[in-house]
Chain A
Amino acid sequence: MKRYATARIEHLQIAIPAGGEDAARVFYGTLLALRELPKPAELAARGGLWFRSGSIALHLGIDPDFHPAGKAHVAFACSEYASVLARLAAAGVAVANDALPFEGRAHCYVADPFGNRIELIDDAPSAASEEANAEPTIVAVATPPGQGAISVVRVSGSRARSIAARLTGASALAPRHATRVALVDEAGRALDDALALSFPAPHSATGEDVVEFHLHGAPVLAREVVRAAIACGARQAAPGEFTRRAFLAGKLDLDGVGAIADLIAAESASAARAALANLGGALRARVAEMRSRLREPLERLAASIDFPDEVEEPARAPLADTVGELEGELARLQRDGEVGRLLREGVSLAIVGPPNAGKSSLLNTLLGEERAIVSDIPGTTRDSIEERFFIDGVAVRAIDTAGIRAHADKLEAMGIERSQRAFESARILLLVLDASLPLSTQGEELLARSEGRTRIVFFNKADLGTSAVRPVSGLSICGSVRWPQTLRELRAAIAQAGWGTEHPDLERAHLAFGEQFDAVARALEALRSARAALAADEALDLVGNDLRLVDAALAHLSPEAASEEMLAGIFARFCIGK
């Protein structure tokens, strides 16, 4: 630490007119929230006030020949800038905001009651600088997949606490205490009555701010919470990412397993090497081919810069063509990847319809076994139930919703909420209507609400009558869950709505991990930037800078993967430290 002859500011003095103490108390004490200190007795006789707050020592001295300081001023950094401003405004103090931020922070000018200029600066670090320094905040379901009594959603990263504040409405959670909260999504819609636990950094599993939500056990609910957290700025965690962060933060207790860590690492390494070798030969070839098209212009550009008198720089027009082509191909890779992800994770299907239209019977028939509770009493299905069945090898995650009724009893309220959400978030809606009875108001409503969505309208119970059947937009089927032909039609309709007429080509869907999607997204972003730079006639080195980013992102997809990805792979494959 450097020592300076004149080391620091001991106090600041502002002049006020005689008799100004009371007005000063209100302004500095109440509005700016500085704490008044009693003046030493020997000085008290001179009048004036002393304030202290944190490192601020402010003296207000009586000047018999007072003139307000209109230019020279004191600037206070406020940790609660917004509330200070609100207090000042409420007290009728004119606030002159400066639109230009001061070192990236908001600031403004006010005058104290005597006309002295005071500057206020927002002391909260700007979100941007905080973000730049932190790894992205991640979220995932922490409990094993499937139905359990409780599912846990974990959020880790610098935004964890602000996300928790958004989802719980609670401004602060007591550290390491279970707090009962009414969980809402990003739009304020109720999600669940849950427990929330906050583990502030560094005393958490990952060493970052961590918030956990303990929810009632429905998988769809956990996914909803994850989705809401993502909407609030988190990113879906990659496999093993929590563990990896924990490791990097030195948080994983390997005591005791230290001896076998070598063994595990050795296995991981060979397994990861092997996995990498296998990692979609097709993807590798495709990426290698894309990189090879960048190589010539990049090498030429580099050579033209280092040997300017000897090598011509690459021509812009062909470069722009290459950039356009790569953009197209990467976008296609991304789309294929999305299809692949959809296929691996399954297609969500919400079975909706008025009570007693036969939704549960339909699901049971599709599943081939009796799972959901079935009865003739309307509203028997109290909870959304998620089940899986397969069509052409693709998982369909079917959610049988509770009957959506106008007069639901209280016990059903929560189930109905969830049904609404399932209705909104499912990729495919299967609207089951009773064909034998005139269409109920609720049926009409559902038809109207599902207009424009990917939906299949199934007029059920056609064996009993078809008075409700009418032409509707999109796919529609008339039949009965008792008829095998109807079931075949339904399965075909689900396949068509889920992944189109083309048979899903799992071979083409190479992108498997979140990081691969990220890499492709990065490459695409850099390509767009390169295209814009070329169009604006920017210097070629700057275009090259973008293209090198493209190359680096693509390299991430190929065998020379970065160690971070390796780590992710190792931790995804081996359950270390759990």
Chain B
Amino acid sequence: MREILEKALKNNRHKADYLEIRAEKKEVTDIHFRGPKLEKISCSRQRGGNVRALVKGGWGFISFNQFTDLEEKVQEAIRVASLIGQEESKLVPNLPAVEIVQQELDKDFRQISLSEKKNLMEGYNELIMRFNPLIQSSRVTYNDRFSTVYFANSEGSYLEQEKPFLSANFTAIAREGDNVQLASESVASTKGFALIEQISGKAQKAASRAVNLLKAESVKGGEYTVILDQTLGGVFIHEAFGHLSEADFLYEDERMRELMKLGKKFGSPQLNVVDDGSIPGLLGSARYDDEGVRTRKNYLIKEGILSGRLHSRETAAKMGEEPTGNARALNYRFKPIVRMTNTYIEKGNLSFGELLSGIKEGIYARDCYGGMTSFEQFTFSAGEGFMIREGKIAEPVKDVVLSGNLFTTLLNIEGIGNDLQMIESGGGCGKGGQGPLPVSFGSPHLRIRKVVVGGGR
């Protein structure tokens, strides 16, 4: 592969300021149960590649899945880049790297038979379906994929990285008359099949949560002091704050840059936020990002002060900051853009009991159905909720949707737990049409005052 890629680059090197080629091969297995039935079982094989060219500050990009005429593709990318380029190309320097990164798996799922995978998931599905007569249906999905990504650029880098991914998702659907409720649990990993062999507890938890939601009242809309569990805390920091740290949103927008000026106070001195793609074996991890830059630990907020952001080589050069290794592409159809990897809030010093104490009427929000942001505004739905009354967890509530303004909400974090947990689930992150990209996120329990909760009544 190295020869093919380098040959295509070699003859065109002088026509562009920078060139890179990525190629990818991938094998995928999907198994879906829906209710008592196996709905889908499929295998797919995918191969493809892309060329990205930088000419006078303009990017040309072409993706394809026929490898004939690779040189022609390189020339086409250069041609469209030339249509855009009108200034000096800027990329932060990066030492060329040559490395082959292989992944050790704890039981290689490529060696496990289709029937073993199917039987395992069937067992989990039966646990959900038989949990309670109120369980109307289920969605149990299994996905494994093993990709190898090849990368070569005009500066002499050549990388091969293996990227295994495996996920199991359990959704239980409970119904009582018109009342339909669902609850999901999910696990995902880069480490191999062993992880999903013993997760009956997750399947049962999805089922019991769905049944419990049938009895829950809708939360009354209003402003509350809220405690977020580690999942919601992680989703919050990823969705609401993390995306604003992605420099591609900022670097050409003066006003946004002003809003996200380093050194600005974003939270209390107890608040520390990190993105780190170099932690071994997490969903967002890789030795190198998709521009061949080494990943590393980056503080985004340190002691409440905005202290860093996430970069590609171009955004780092344009903002005069260091590269962070955050240029990632979903697959060969896409160009690398600035993305998070593993994003979390560092642990504080309060126990869960201490967070609860003193809340007269509040909400304990757990797990997540999904979240979205639009710059300063965010909204996300809790998978499970409880009222907090007089410092104690009280009755369950449903339809808990939290929303607000990022800047005020960060300042309103008034307690940070001592129980950080990284969440690895099958969902992933979406941006610019590229999703779901594997990421992990995490947080300790968080106590936030004045959160707007939209409810069903």
- A in complex with B: no
Chain B contacts to A: CB under 8 angstroms = none
Chain A contacts to B: CB under 8 angstroms = none
